[in-house]
Structure 1
Amino acid sequence: MHTTETAAAAPAKGMPLHLKVGIGFLLGTLLGIAVHLVAPDAEWVRMVIDYAARPFGTIFLNLLFMMVVPLIFSALVLGVAELGDVASLGRLGWRTLTYTAVVTGIAVLIGLVMANLLQPGVHMDPAMVEQALSSNADKTTTIVEKGRELRLVDIIVNIVPHNIVGAMGDDSKKLGIVFFALMFGVGLVMRPTPGTQAFKNTLHGLFEVCMHLIGMFVKLAPYAVACFMFILCAQMGWEVLVGLGWFVLTVVLALAIHGFVVLPLWVKFMGGMSVRAFFRGVQEASLTAFATASSAATLPVTLRVGEENLKLPRKISRFVLTVGASASHHGSALFEGITVLFLAQVYGMHLPLGEQVLVLILCILGGIGTASIPSGSLPVIAMICGIVGLKPEGIGIILGVNTFLDMCRTSLNVTGDLAMAVVVAKQSGQQDLDDAVAEKLDDIVR
């Protein structure tokens, strides 16, 4: 009797957040397309975007971004400290780095093959090329300047920051925070004293506070997603996608092959997890990544999904997912490879096999240096274009569709990070998904 009354008194569970995000995504898309069809250039549309939708979306992103630095620091330090010894950290680090390089290489290879098969640059209208370059001249100049300042040697050097406070304020130097946190964690492991244990407890408190605040902020995600999609569709409609249709098709198909073929096979055979359970577990993080177009902004959701939905061990998920958000960008590297070949085709420049191999290597390395923020890939593409002899200014051609494709590739980045966490946990022999938990996950899916 008591059990029945307790069950009856328990509040009904509300709609899951990922469903709310999906609804917000759909409503924002439909409303934006409708507005674009009815009144694309109306003053009231501009005012709604400038004074309501964009400010709300920016505030939401800022709420998440302001928690990224303390979250990265506390999560990584605790992850390293919980490993217990430096040798375990070394094995985990090398395994993560190896998987990242291999799977990112596969992603770039898929992109290059698709670009060679579909030849998207050959289908571009020269008049549209000139129009795109002229209309995006100012943005292109800024991106090209950043690309010229970006060097692979500098990316490697900046991994070790000379000023950690400066690295915290520079989105292009987030790897410096990762390195600092790793060293700090190593110090805690090597110096087990009452003082370091007290500091470790403080970090636990910091991490819990960050996750609690982020849990509050993420409740705004459905509304922010609706705003992002409304802005995108109200301003762009489908015309710009049609104009660069072959390029968009090539990128989306390559992303789909990697996301729905390569990653599921990887998770199934290397991670030992049901593909259905994996995609059911990661959908909230993938949708959030699509909306925010930022792996860093999505990191809080990614960490929670890894621990709560996929049941990954904390010391594995915190390390792999935090490093992955800063240095593992499967989708971005794939996009960079396709874009370089696309621009070569537009300009009638043939890249032989040797130079395409160079592009493959540069994209793998560039993926590590890509900032985990919206449009972080563009300066890297400009840098690669300069190395292979292409005019970096050509990047202005694809700026019209970059926002949409940025959302797509960021979603793949985050999904790939979660897949890597599953595989690393399994291959490290520390996977918490025993048979009972796996069966429970499959029951939830069914």
Structure 2
Amino acid sequence: MALALEEVWGRVKNVCKQNGLLILSVLAVVIGCLLGFFLRGKQLSEQEVKYFQFPGELLMRMLKMLILPLITSSLMSGLSSMESKACCRMGVLTVTYYLWTTFIAVVVGIMLVLIIKPGVGTEMDSNRLGGGPVMTSADALLDLIRNMVPSNLIEATFQQYKTDLIPILRVPTKTILPNFVYVVPDENDPKGQTVYLELTPPPDVIYKTSPGSSQQMNVLGIVIFSATMGLLLGRMGERGAPLVNVCQCINECVMKIINAAVWYFPFGIIFLVAGKILDMQDPSTLGKKLGWYGVTVLTGLFVHGLILLPLFYLILTRKNPFRYIRGLLQAMVIALATSSSSATLPITMKCLLENCHVDRQIARFVLPVGATINMDGTALYEAVAAIFIAQVNDYELDFGQLVTIR
């Protein structure tokens, strides 16, 4: 009996030693949630909440600090050692996979929102639904292409291009082009609002486009530039070897910084999660208005992330997907706390290389691209949101409109 207990205790110690950071990260999320809900009853002032969130803010700043050197060094050093044909093949497969998974996520979201119908019988405040200018699909596509080719590479490290819409004329009309959801005021409507569904701004408003910017890193432009540099350095041979060596050294240094800083993450996660809970509005009021919407989105994320994607992994690799997911749990915990795929990139890179043993060249290419263009969760909840708003306002969507949203 004593030998059996000693053997069990030895196994527990080995598990804790191998997964110490993961266990600490999960405990940090639990402690952060408990601490956040406990402090909600203390009625902390806004200044006290900011001071309390300071360790979590340091965590976010630390993660964001590592994004730029990690993306540039990993792409340049990784692609420089690959052949052009292999790189093109990997790029096509990666982009195709990301597009298909995003499409599947949207389909899952639309199917669930039509089955659960979270907006039926829900009443929303008019001031919460009132919208401003709506970005046209053409402007959004052009902004995406502009950000792929940044005019200033230094500027791309802290902001990206975004078209601003300035209203210059409003003429009362009743034309409706059914494509997409947004809300504009209407004095003749008893609720004081009219729901339009279209891909362009309302016909009674004329907007003037002007160049603008968003205070976010232009990750897409940096990825395109770094990938191009990496491919060209590989073709230069010996002449490009010094710069390749520099990139490899930078990449190794960044990974060492991540290995050293990773022990601070559980401490920072506690204050990050608790701070987000303190910033929440009244959960009971929010649950009454958006409870079924949240259930629908979470159900869609569960189906997509824990059923469909593991199923694809099983079919394509014939391996147990949950062993692979287990190696990424720490990155998932960080993603839950930060709500940012880009900020989670350094930890995801570490988990793939050390826990999942993914080829370094593949990880260096796939992860930065995925953090930029692979937005399955965003696509899912935006599709759910569009149909949810239509259901709240008793607007029936036909099949053509559902396809447009998709």
- Classify the TM-score, shorter chain: 0.7 to 0.9
Aligned residue for 1:124, secondary structure, equals coil
Q: Which amino acid aligns with 2:140?
A: R
1:119-163: CA deviations, max 9, x gaps?
A: 11223224xx23645xxx8xx76xx57889951122123212222
Determine which of 143, 160, 183 is the counterpart of 2:228.
183
Q: Secondary structure at the match of 1:164?
A: coil
Q: Which residue number in structure 2 is paired with residue 118 of structure 1?
A: 116
Distance 2:19 2:326 in 1: 15
1:248 aligns with 2:237: no
Residue 153 in 1 paired to residue 154 in 2? no
Query: Larger helix proportion, structure 1 or 2?
Result: 1
How much does 1:56 deviate? Answer: 2.0
- After TM superposition, the structure 1 = structure 2 runs for residues 136-285 of structure 1, keeping only pairs within 5 Å, are 151-170=140-159, 171=216, 173-193=218-238, 195-236=239-280, 238-239=283-284, 240-285=286-331
Q: Within 1, Cα distance between the matches of 2:306 and 2:361?
A: 27
Structure 1 residue ranges without an equivalent (≥5): 1-11, 361-446
How far apart are the structure 2 equivalents of 1:211 and 1:146? Answer: 39
The answer to whether the aligner puts 1:32 opposite 2:36 as a matched pair is: yes
- Letter of the aligned partner of 1:17 in structure 2? L
2 CA distance for matches of 1:154 and 1:216?
A: 38
The separation in 1 between residues aligned to 2:381 and 2:107, in whole angstroms, is: 11
Q: Percent identity?
A: 29
Displacement after TM superposition at 1:325 (Å): 0.8
Matches within 5 A, 1:307-386: 307-360=353-406
Q: Contact 2:52–2:275 (CA<8 Å) still a contact in 1?
A: no
Letter in 2 for 1:301: I
Displaced runs of 4+ in structure 1, greater than 6 A? 145-149
Q: Counterparts of 1:292 and 1:122 in 2: how far apart (Å)?
A: 32
**If the length of structure 1 is used for normalisation, what is the TM-score?**
0.70
How far apart are the structure 2 equivalents of 1:188 and 1:113?
47
Please state how far the C-alpha of 1:14 moved relative to its aligned partner.
7.8
**Cα 1:48/1:216, change in 2 over 3 Å:** farther
Note the C-alpha offset of 1:267.
1.3
Give, in angstroms, the shift of residue 347 of structure 1. 2.6
Shift of 1:89: 0.9
Secondary structure (helix, strand or coil) at the match of 2:396 reads coil
Report what 2:58 is aligned to: 59
Question: Secondary structure of the residue that 1:191 maps to in structure 2?
Answer: helix
What is the aligned partner in structure 2 of residue 426 from structure 1?
A: none
Structure 1's 115 and 14: CA in aligned 2 closer, same or farther, altered over 3 A? Answer: closer
Q: Give the Cα separation in 2 of the matches to 1:214 and 1:340.
A: 39
Offset of 1:202 from its aligned partner?
A: 0.8
SS of residue paired to 2:120: helix
Letter in 2 for 1:70: P
How far residue 13 of structure 1 moved from its aligned partner, in angstroms, is: 4.0
**Are the structure 2 counterparts of residues 22 and 264 from structure 1 closer, same or farther at C-alpha, using a change threshold of 3 Å?**
same
Structure 2: give runs of 5+ residues left out of the alignment.
1-15, 160-215
Specify the structure having the higher radius of gyration (Cα).
2
Post-superposition Cα deviations, 1:339-375, rounded to whole Å, max 9, x if no partner, equal 1111122233332211221211xxxxxxxxxxxxxxx
- CA 1:208–1:146: 2 relative to 1, 3 Å: farther
Match of 1:300 in 2: 346
Q: Provide the rounded CA distance (Å) in 1 between the counterparts of 2:22 and 2:136.
A: 36
Distance (whole Å) between structure 2 residues aligned to residue 124 and residue 222 of structure 1: 39
Rounded to whole Å, the distance in 1 between the matches of 2:254 and 2:297 is 35
Amino acid at match of 2:52: A
**Structure 2 letter corresponding to 1:192:** G
